[in-house]
Every structure is written in C-alpha cells, then in structure tokens.
Structure 1
Amino acid sequence: MVGEIAGAEARLASGKGSNLKHQIPYEDLRDWITEAERLGELRHINGASWQEEIGMAAELVSHDDGAPSVLFGKVPGALKGSRVLVNIFGGRRKNMTLGFPTDLGKVALSNAFADIYHGNEKLIAPRTVEDGPIFENVMRGNDINLEIFPTPHWHENDGGRYIGTGCYHITRDPETGSINLGSYRLMLKDKNTVAHNVLPGRHADLHLKKYTARAERMPVAIVVGGDPLTFIMGGRDIPEGVSEYDVAGGLRGKPIDVVSAKVTGLPIPANAEIVIEGYVDANRMEPEGPFGDWTGTYTEKGRVNPVIDVEAVYYRNDPILLGFAPQRLPDEYSRFRAIVRSPFLKKDLEAAGVPGVTATWCHEVGGSRMLLAVAIEQRYVGHARQAGHVASMCRTGVDANRWVIVTDSDVDVTNLDELIYAALTRADPAEDFDLIRGGKAQKSDPRLPPWEREVGNLVNSRMIIDACIPYHWRDDFPEINQPSADSLKRAREKFGHLLD
C-alpha cells in the first residue's frame, strides 16, 4: 500500500538520513518574499480591506497546499506602505522556509528537518548589535498607535482584530536570565493595549508567575512581523533554559543579530518588521476572543486573559505583518505542525523502548495533535497496544490527543485513506479499541464540557486503535488485494500517462 518514493525521498522517509544540503536562503521576511517570488509562489493583492477581505482570502488559500502565499498591500485606512503576508507554509516554499531542496515531498521534508534539528545540541547564541532596520520608526508614549497597522479581522466571528498570529513573544526568566521565545496569539484592544493568550505551563506563563511572586510586571517584546524560521522556532517545544534564538542560530549556522529594546532591554531581531514592547500585569485581566483556534472551532465567549500595556512600538519602513491564523482543519497551520512534529513522535517511541517503529505521522486533519498514526513491524502480542499507549502519552502526543491508530508497516500512515482503510479492515471495535481517561486536554478542545473548562479541569479521553493484522493469526489473515511492487512499477511505466 505504501506509495513508491524514489531517491532522496526514500532515504529520508525511512529516517536513514541523506547528504542533502541544508541552508536557510533568507535573512529576514523580505528575503523570504524574494525567494517565494523566485519559486513563482507569491501573489500580490492591493486594496483588500482588513475588516473582511484579507481574512476571507487567507481562509480560501489556507486549505490547499498548492495555493500561493499572498502579500496584501495598499490596505484602506492603514499606514501607507504597510502590508500583510499570509499562507507562507505551502507548496515548494515550505521546503525553502526550512532550508531544504524544493523537490522533497512532505515525509522526506519532515525527516530531513528532524535530521538537522537537535533542540539543544547545536546552539549559536545571538549577536548584539547597536542598530538595525527595526529602529527606522519608533513610537513612544502618546505617539503609540497600533491601529495604524493593517491588522485583519481574520474570522467572521472573532471577537476583534488579532495583530499577532504569525508572532512570537520574547521574555526573560527573572531568576536565571534565560531568554525564551514563544508563539501566542495577540488581540488588538486599542491604540496602546493588547491581550495575549498563553497556555498554562508554557514558558511565558512560568515567567509571569515568577514576576508576579516578586510583585513585578513582566517585560515582554512581541515580534508580529519577522523571519519565518525564528517564528517557527518560537512554536517548538524546546527545553526550559534553552533559548530559541540559539536553536535558530544553530540551524542558520551563524548568530542572529539582535538589538536591545529601548524600554525593557530585551533582545529583539535587528531586521524584524514590527515589534511591540511593554509589560504584562497578571492582575489585570480583560476579555480576549472569541478567536478561530487551531481546532477549527472558536474559543469560548467570556475568556479573560492578561493585557499588555504597550510602551514602545518599532517598525521598518513599509512594514509587513505576518499572518498565520488557524482555520478549519486541515489548514496551513496543521501542515506546518505535521511536518515539524511527526518525526519526533517516532523518536519519543524509540526513546521509551518501543521497538520496530517504522513510521509516524501527526495528521493535519487533527491539527497534528488529535490524530496520531504509528506503523510498526509487529514483534509480539501486545506490541501495537504498547506503541499506541506510549504515543498518546509521550512528549509529542500528550497535549490534546484524541485518537492513536497503530497499524502495520505496509500501510502508508501519512495517507489518511490508507490509514482509515486499515482501521476499518484490521480492527474490531469490541476487541481492538482501548480507552484512556484523564488525558491532558487544552482549553480550546471543543469537546471539553463548559463547566469543566470553567473550573480548569482540562482533561479528556483518548482512543487507541490496534489496526494491525491480529498477531496470533496473522498467517491466516486474508491477502490484501493490491498489485505487487513490480506490477505497479510496470503499470505506471506503461499507463502512467492516464493519470496526467
């Protein structure tokens, strides 16, 4: 059932690595745009409104991997020259974004990323410089006006405009001094106030608790337009105490240039497009949302979150706001998460001692969390159950998982049709489904009862599906009706033109 993957694709899909060249071809967001145009994957639209039209177009292109990135300019009512970029992670440009050859398929790209990404093993600290393009324009005090930027109203039923979707927060641990980057959405409240949503247990949340215990506000700088690689690192699960700046520098092979923000002294990228700087007061909570979240549903009404008092705004001439708003699944966000998370599920299983794992995929239709797939070479009775339970509760799987499907290695687990077919024909609901109760949920889980969400009881249940051919009678299982590899090869050579 597994489709043929040739050359480098096959080597990387098997997780055996390759000699592929890795190089990030851009320094900042403007360089990225140049590269996307070179690939023929960027479209320009002028005159679209922030009130509705940018969000409409972003939703339309987000679901199709073949759709282009779009740069919106001349937005009515916005700062002259300001722009909005959306749908960066699709087509061949997603390979370019991660620094790999553009002919790799998604499995090869995912494994190539895992080959070069080591979390805390290859670190290059940022380099502090005196000045940079981010200081071309500075707003302080009464001059601050966040409403000049073309911040879209992304979804029809959002509770307001979200200036931060393709963004990351920069915070400092008040005890250790370590710098953290984390991606959290940012709602525009008024000219000098924004509200953010940081999940419990995330590094910015831990930092805020430490500042609050000291009766201090937390300094923060938020990059709402910057280079895609650093933004991607801001969304990775990187160990506490390790700065995402250092990891991004390691991936680039050189340090990222940063400047000291003028109010808090936090390090901000010298070539960022727009940076918001201020302080978070944990005791000042205001309504935030609803917002169309990663589950494809809106967050609940009445949610309150800390607000950020903005004390400075920095932006380049003709600044670009990076949009990365989630949509109904699958979407751009889930494509990105599937590629950067899937190989680490396999690594987690192997680290836990589960043998014979041949492939894993964190499916796009589940936002890379709700549906996990594992392929194994069965070695003993209970092997599939072991793999499924570990997958649901390991570091990659623990947050918001719903289903885990474990199947045999002849199934391409990245192909949703093949995966569901295997579950339908190899698993018996009464015999092969296990339930786990008390798993770790998220506030955004649409199935979480409102009264449980209200009191913070964020738990869910999970289903483990053993979709492997039954081990104890595997030799008697009906043969799968599919052509042999040789027959399939000859058919494609002779009749492949019928599929063009």
Structure 2
Amino acid sequence: MAYRDLREYLAVLENKGLLCHIEAEVDKDWEISAVCRRTFRSIPERNRPALMFDRIKGHDIPLVVGILGGSREIYATALETEVGNVLEKWESGTKNPLKARLVKSAPCQEVVHRGAEVNFEMLPAPVWTVGQDPGAYHTSPFVISKDPETGIPNIGTYRVQVKGRNRAGLMINPPRNMNQHIRKNEARGQGTDVAIVFGTDPVLGLTSVTPFPYGVNEFEIAGGIRREPVDVVRCLTVDLEVPATAEIVVEGRIPFQGREPEGPFGEYGGYMGAAGTHPFIEISCITHRKKPIYQAFLSQMPPSESSCIKGIGREAVILRHLKNNLGIPVTDVYLTESGGATGMLIIAMKKQNRFQPLKAMMGAWSLHDVFGKVTIVVDDDIDIRDSFQVEWALSFRMQPAEDVHVLNNTDPLTLDPSQPWKDGKPVLPTEQVSSKVGIDATKKHAFPPLAVPPREHLEKVDAQWERYGIRALKRNAK
C-alpha cells in the first residue's frame, strides 16, 4: 500500500534505521549546510542516513534532508521496493498512469495564512553556500503550474530564492516544461499561477525531479508508481490543484512579464550557478499541516542528494527509451554521481552488431539535452557502477581513432561552467552551444581469454575467506 504522506514514510525510514535525528540546536544560516556536506562526503553511500534536524535556531519547524536520495537504499524505500527493482518499478508505473483524485478538504490546509499573515520567511530554508548565495534558498520545492490551453499540470523542481515575506525568485532553465506555461500565458497577456509544495508522499518528489516530455502529467505518473491515485485539493487563491497530504503549500502568481535578478546559487555540478534575470512569484497564501515538517535537498558539489535522486530516475527514463522505444539491446544505464547525474552516462549492452553502440549514444542524446556530455558504451560483462571496470574497458577495448565520436552543435549541459566564453565574457544561456563525446568501449572482435583465476576458484576462496586471516592494514593518521 502506498505511503499516505511524508510522515508515514519517515516512520518507515526510522524503523529501518535509515533516519538519523540531530537533536542539537543548529543554525540554518551556516550549520545545516556544513553538517550535510560532511555527512555525504565522509559516509559511504551504502551507509549514509537521511537526516532530521529537530531543533533549528529561530524556527519551530523541523527539517529533513536526504530522505529521497541519501542513498540508493533510501531511494528504493521511497518507492516501496528493493534496490535491484527500482528500474522495474519506474517502468511499471510510467506504463500504467493513474489519474489524480480530487478531494474537498485536506490536511495541507489545516492552517491558512493570507494577506498580512503571509510570511515566506517562516520556513527554515538554509543558506547553502555561505558567503556566495545571496541568502536562503529552497532546494526541494515541488513547483506546480499548468498549461493554459490543455489544463495539464506540470510538477518540477527548481531553485527558489527567499526574497521577503511574500516574494520568491524562481530559476527555470530554458528547456524546462514550466517555461512553456509561462510563455503561453504571456502570449495571452496574463501571468502564471504557481503552487510551491514542500514535504509530500515520496513518490511525488521523485517524479518532480525526473524530466518527462512536455504534456506528461506527473500526478498520473506518481499514481502509477504508487498503484494508487494521488489525492489532490484545489488551492485557495490560485487555479491549481496540490497534493492533499503535503506538509506545506505556498500559493502565488508570476506576474505578466515578471522578471528580476535572481542568484547566484551553488549548483549540482559543484560550482556557483550564475545570477540572472528570472521570474519572481508574488505569494498570496501559505497553507500547512499542524506542526509541519520542512523538506530540503542537499545539492551543490557531488556527492549530493540531488545527484542520487536525479540519477536513478533519469536512468529509468533512458533505459526505457533505449530498450522499448528504440529496440536497442541495452541491459543497464548509469549516470555517475561524480557527473551530477548529468555529465557522464555509461551504457551497458549485449551488442548484436557494430552499429548499436553509436545508436545508443544518439538515442540517449536525443531524449534530453541534459544526458551524457560524455557517454561511454560497454559490453554487458562490465559492471558500469564499478569505475575500475569501466576504466579497464576504456583502456583495453577502445581505440581512440576509431571509437571516439564527437557530436557538435548540441544543446548545452545545464549550468556547465566549461562553456567557452566569447570576447572575454560568459555567453548567455540562450546562446550557448555545446558538444558531446561518445566512446564505444565494447569489444569489436574476438578477444583473448581473461587472465584471472577460474570463477569457481574465486568463489571457493570467498566462501572460506576467514580461513586465511587476511585483514586490511590499519594506518595511523599523520
């Protein structure tokens, strides 16, 4: 049975030992970011917990982070499955969408703030890159808007800057679906209704950060994955519907041609994302549950929660496209965490002919502009999540003059600081042009036998490893 809400999901994480409570009081303006960074960098992914900051200086709302992408086990728990079944769960859900179910009243509207009571600063949004971000930022907002022609909603995750009690900045990269809603509304001379949601059933959060083609209804995808419709309720001041069991909902409107400076902000690639002129939101209402829980993502330099979340969801989308839509015998795909689940894509396949590796590269690149500035294709005997094996395949199954393919004049990687400058200045995002490199590291002919002990011998040694008394050396810190 699907999780009813964030609270039920947190209880499951706690019961499984995947949630760590920080009971010491922390300062959101520097301390939360530093604690999260140390946690993600110093604890191996397989052992990394989600965090709940119970006491935040100056606020009475607790904050959770890492609850969707602290690790692959946490991610799988969010989908109510095992790590090995994540892609299958995504495939099943996206093939069997369920329409959202409208309800008349909802927990997310237990407490209502309108007019002078609206205070966006009541939420404990951290300062993530101290000394460089202009202030507090929301990193896990699930932003809802809809197409003014079809009425189909879109849920996306974008950085949201706190600009005051009733004002927010919104950075949306040009290819994102919400931009089409804004453009269509402004072609009609009108603004765009927006709802910013914090703390939902975990599946909604995972669909929010996963790119789908324009016109796909993320509520329905989430319903398919949950195998139960998402309950939604109408907003109080804007013409939108939001998850009924959300912790916090912020309602507002982007005015017609409403743009102003926003940023900079520490982004997923590990560098500061540039400031720019972006939409702003005039907030009309804030609703929330009694004793709400605020959710954030750790982004910035990998490893991060955002890279884990985006990677797994995007892998499912790419795998489905290459296998089902294009009929390529792909067995696995991996967007590396070091590449921010964007810059480097590795594809494994059971190759049937010499054309398929290039076809797989082109298929992934054509699916979405963010996938695989560097794309590597290997045989299915390579564990693509083991960097040693991938590097071995690159070293001994690839010839640079024959197997490296460069594609020019492609869409740029979002927020990529390696973009070349023009006349000594950065190029505007709308004018950026990039390229991609694909490397075919599959075997092209018969290879000699592998120079390793027989598998049965290795398995026998593994089974009696304690017998040998071998231990890793313990080094004293210098």
- Give distance in 2, aligned partners of 1:297 and 1:207: 29
Farther off after superposition, 191-200 or 132-141: 132-141
What do you get for the CA RMSD once the two structures are aligned? 2.2
Q: Does 1:84 align with 2:63?
A: yes
Is contact 2:93-2:223 (8 Å) kept? Answer: no
Is contact 2:33-2:126 (8 Å) kept? Answer: yes
Aligned with 1:325: secondary structure? coil
Is contact 2:93-2:222 (8 Å) kept? Answer: no
How much has 1:251 moved relative to structure 2? 2.1
Q: How does 1:423-442 map to 2 (within 5 A)?
A: 423-442=394-413
How much has 1:179 moved relative to structure 2? 1.8
Change (3 A) 1:499 1:205: farther
- Give distance in 2, aligned partners of 1:162 and 1:226: 21
Letter in 1 for 2:462: R
Is contact 2:108-2:244 (8 Å) kept? Answer: yes
Farther off after superposition, 69-78 or 451-460: 451-460
Change (3 A) 1:151 1:449: same
Structure 2 equivalent of residue 19 of structure 1: none
- Give distance in 1, aligned partners of 2:55 and 2:228: 35
Structure 2 equivalent of residue 156 of structure 1: 130
- Give distance in 1, aligned partners of 2:255 and 2:453: 63
Q: Deviations over 1:78-113 (max 9, x none)?
A: 2x3x11101112343322101114xx4xxx133333
Farther off after superposition, 326-335 or 308-317: 326-335
Change (3 A) 1:251 1:110: closer
- Give distance in 2, aligned partners of 1:173 and 1:38: 41
Q: Does 1:116 align with 2:88?
A: no
How much has 1:186 moved relative to structure 2? 0.7
Counterpart selection for 2:373 from 370, 394, 402: 402
- Give distance in 1, aligned partners of 2:106 and 2:325: 46
Question: Which runs of 5 or more residues in structure 2 are unaligned?
Answer: 473-478
- Give distance in 2, aligned partners of 1:126 and 1:354: 32
Change (3 A) 1:48 1:299: same
Is contact 2:89-2:225 (8 Å) kept? Answer: no
Structure 2 equivalent of residue 485 of structure 1: 455
Aligned with 2:228: secondary structure? coil
Aligned with 1:195: secondary structure? strand
Structure 2 equivalent of residue 419 of structure 1: 390
Is contact 2:370-2:414 (8 Å) kept? Answer: no
Letter in 2 for 1:117: G
How much has 1:350 moved relative to structure 2? 3.1
How much has 1:327 moved relative to structure 2? 2.7
Q: Does 1:95 align with 2:76?
A: yes
**TM-score where L is the length of structure 1:** 0.86
Q: Does 1:283 align with 2:254?
A: no
How much has 1:354 moved relative to structure 2? 5.6
Q: Deviations over 1:116-163 (max 9, x none)?
A: 232xx4222222222222222211111211112211101224423444
How much has 1:195 moved relative to structure 2? 0.5
Is contact 2:232-2:241 (8 Å) kept? Answer: yes
Letter in 2 for 1:110: V
- Give distance in 1, aligned partners of 2:90 and 2:413: 26
Structure 1 equivalent of residue 10 of structure 2: 33
Aligned with 2:258: secondary structure? strand
How much has 1:184 moved relative to structure 2? 1.3
Structure 1 equivalent of residue 342 of structure 2: 369
Change (3 A) 1:73 1:295: same
- Give distance in 1, aligned partners of 2:429 and 2:124: 37
Is contact 1:229-1:248 (8 Å) kept? Answer: yes
Structure 2 equivalent of residue 49 of structure 1: 27
- Give distance in 1, aligned partners of 2:307 and 2:125: 22
Is contact 1:330-1:366 (8 Å) kept? Answer: no
Change (3 A) 1:305 1:410: same
Q: Identity rate of aligned residues, in percent?
A: 28
Is contact 1:180-1:203 (8 Å) kept? Answer: yes
> What is the count of residue pairs matched by the alignment?
461
Aligned with 1:364: secondary structure? coil
- Give distance in 1, aligned partners of 2:119 and 2:350: 59
Q: How does 1:308-323 map to 2 (within 5 A)?
A: 308-323=281-296
Structure 2 equivalent of residue 141 of structure 1: 115
Aligned with 2:367: secondary structure? coil
Q: How does 1:144-223 map to 2 (within 5 A)?
A: 144-223=118-197
Is contact 1:349-1:394 (8 Å) kept? Answer: no
Structure 2 equivalent of residue 6 of structure 1: none
Change (3 A) 1:251 1:407: closer
Structure 1 equivalent of residue 318 of structure 2: 345
**TM-score where L is the length of structure 2:** 0.90
How much has 1:203 moved relative to structure 2? 2.0
Aligned with 1:322: secondary structure? strand
Letter in 2 for 1:77: G
Change (3 A) 1:401 1:369: same
Letter in 1 for 2:6: L
Is contact 2:96-2:224 (8 Å) kept? Answer: yes
Q: Does 1:58 align with 2:30?
A: no
Letter in 1 for 2:146: R
Change (3 A) 1:59 1:369: same
- Give distance in 1, aligned partners of 2:428 and 2:226: 43
Q: Deviations over 1:11-56 (max 9, x none)?
A: xxxxxxxxxxxx53x2111111111110112122231001101111
Aligned with 2:125: secondary structure? coil
Counterpart selection for 1:333 from 306, 309, 315: 306
Is contact 1:170-1:220 (8 Å) kept? Answer: yes
Is contact 1:160-1:188 (8 Å) kept? Answer: no
- Give distance in 2, aligned partners of 1:370 and 1:303: 23
Change (3 A) 1:161 1:122: farther
- Give distance in 2, aligned partners of 1:305 and 1:344: 29
Is contact 2:345-2:371 (8 Å) kept? Answer: no
Is contact 1:222-1:277 (8 Å) kept? Answer: yes
- Give distance in 2, aligned partners of 1:100 and 1:263: 37
How much has 1:406 moved relative to structure 2? 1.4
Is contact 2:91-2:316 (8 Å) kept? Answer: no
Q: Does 1:247 align with 2:221?
A: yes
Change (3 A) 1:499 1:291: farther
Letter in 1 for 2:459: K
How much has 1:321 moved relative to structure 2? 1.4
Is contact 1:260-1:267 (8 Å) kept? Answer: yes
How much has 1:409 moved relative to structure 2? 2.1
Farther off after superposition, 308-317 or 59-68: 59-68
How much has 1:496 moved relative to structure 2? 6.1
